[in-house]
Homo-oligomer: A and B are copies of this chain.
């Protein structure tokens, strides 16, 4: 097969040697025309997408595909696969766990106290005293629920379609999840339905003193609504990895808000060592004339 790699962000030298070693008989190219069989893309170079009408698969290097779907050049007749990368999934689990424990153990408050050299203990809670609400019970949400449950947290999950995940109370009604949650973790795909889901009305439903962790996409959270619930004292802290505009502009109030921890869209990066295994599986499926898993539902938008 002739396989195109095109990205303005991911470096081909990190990817091509690993891909070539798993797919030794295929030809990898960095530019190509109508003869491409499979295109591996992540912010592809301009003009690339519109020449892919004859391809058998467009494989995203990322899990989020909302930018590709917005692009009018994306051929809608070609199957588009999201990358469900075990390394990226594991990284997200680590990050969700780190931030949840930061809230649960009150470490964000101890950091504030350190600034004023204040030695004061807060009341300790058991994990089973707290409920973590996960918005988005796909691969990421399901994986993140596991160690939280193992530690003893109660976990509730929200998804568009009814799901069954062991140990997690799953709801399709967001209201039910928010009312039960001390910490809300957003791992949703960005679609017309999920944009702005963490707005004032919904943020107020989270339990008093709770936290918000957004590791999905910036527009899931209405920034000024979040600042309002933090300033009112209803919520205690927010951990934000994603923003409406990235890099987060220097004058954005989130940078300096004392109740906000900012990370630079680094919650979970694609891990080439594990991702290439998934990509190779998808390409082998194409070679056999089969449809790979995790194809984007253009109607649902992810």
Contact = CB atoms under 8 A, between A and B. Distances in A.
A167 interface: no
Contacts of A111: 111, 261
Interface string A266-281: 1011010110000000
Chain A interface size band reads 35 or more
A94 B104 contact: yes
A151 B90 contact: yes
Interface stretch (A50-58, A181-189, A247-255): A247-255
A43 to B, nearest CB: 15
A265 interface: yes
Contacts of A105: 91, 94-95, 98, 266
A143 to B, nearest CB: 11
B124 A91 contact: yes
Interface stretch (A19-27, A34-42, A112-120, A293-301): A112-120
B93 A151 contact: yes
What is the oligomeric copy number?
Answer: 2
Given A97-B97, A250-B117, A90 B262 contact: no
Contact of A110 (B120, B246, B250, B263): B263
A273 B117 contact: no
A107 interface: yes
A264 B101 contact: no
A117 B255 CA distance: 6
Interface in A105-153: 105-107, 110-111, 113-114, 117, 119-122, 124, 126-127, 147, 150-152
16 contacts: A93-B151, A95-B101, A98-B101, A105-B266, A110-B262, A110-B263, A110-B264, A110-B266, A111-B111, A117-B250, A119-B248, A121-B264, A124-B266, A124-B269, A147-B147, A150-B150
